[in-house]
């Protein structure tokens, strides 16, 4: 199981509240979660413990898509989000569990993400690369300070 796990760490110069909002707001989540070259559609999202979600990623170059769904297992506002992922594709069986921890630090937010149970058909290096791209997009969403006009 250890090889089917990715661990990521980042420090963002944005408050935990803003970073948490990027995970809990469906439109924000869809804007940064898919790696480069993919478009995300959030079909349904109940961001609460026991709530569920359904999403799909569209490969913009090839036109094919894959959908996935899951449940929110644990949520602590501005601190923790733990959820499951299951693919609709029977060739990607099993359940992944993703744990996102946020911690306020002097310059913003320390972010730790662990995703476990990645299906054998998905190389963990590719999953890791995808997460790196997603976190770069998250950084570009939450770090700018845009004043009200």
Let me know if residue 149 belongs to a domain. no
Let me know if residue 90 belongs to a domain. yes
Tell me how crowded residue 102 is: count the other CB atoms within 10 A of its CB. Answer: 24
CATH code of the domain covering residue 36? 3.30.530.20
pTM, rounded to two decimals: 0.92
Let me know if residue 60 belongs to a domain. yes
Q: CB neighbours of 130 closer than 8 A, spacing ≥ 6?
A: 35
Let me know if residue 148 belongs to a domain. no
CA dihedral 16, 52, 116, 100 (to 10 degrees): 0
Let me know if residue 138 belongs to a domain. yes
Q: Which domain holds residue 124?
A: 2-142
pLDDT digits (tens, 9 = 90+) for 55-100: 999 999 998 999 999 999 999 999 999 999 999 998 888 999 999 9
Counting the structural domains of the chain, the total is 1
pLDDT digits (tens, 9 = 90+) for 116-146: 999 998 999 999 999 999 999 999 999 998 8
């Amino acid at each position: 199981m250890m090889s089917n796990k990715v661990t990521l760490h980042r420090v963002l110069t944005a408050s935990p509240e803003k970073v948490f909002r990027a995970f809990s707001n469906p439109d924000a989540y869809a804007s940064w979660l898919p790696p480069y070259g993919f478009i995300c559609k959030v079909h349904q999202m109940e961001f609460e413990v026991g709530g569920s979600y359904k999403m799909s990623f569209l490969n913009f170059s090839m036109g094919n898509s894959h959908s996935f769904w899951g449940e929110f297992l644990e949520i602590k506002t501005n601190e923790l989000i733990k959820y499951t992922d299951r693919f609709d594709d029977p060739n990607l069986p099993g359940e992944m569990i993703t744990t996102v921890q946020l911690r306020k630090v002097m310059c913003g937010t320390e972010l730790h993400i662990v995703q476990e149970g990645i299906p054998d058909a998905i190389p963990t290096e590719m999953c890791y690369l995808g997460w790196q791209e997603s976190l770069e997009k998250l950084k570009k969403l939450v770090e700018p300070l845009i004043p009200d006009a």
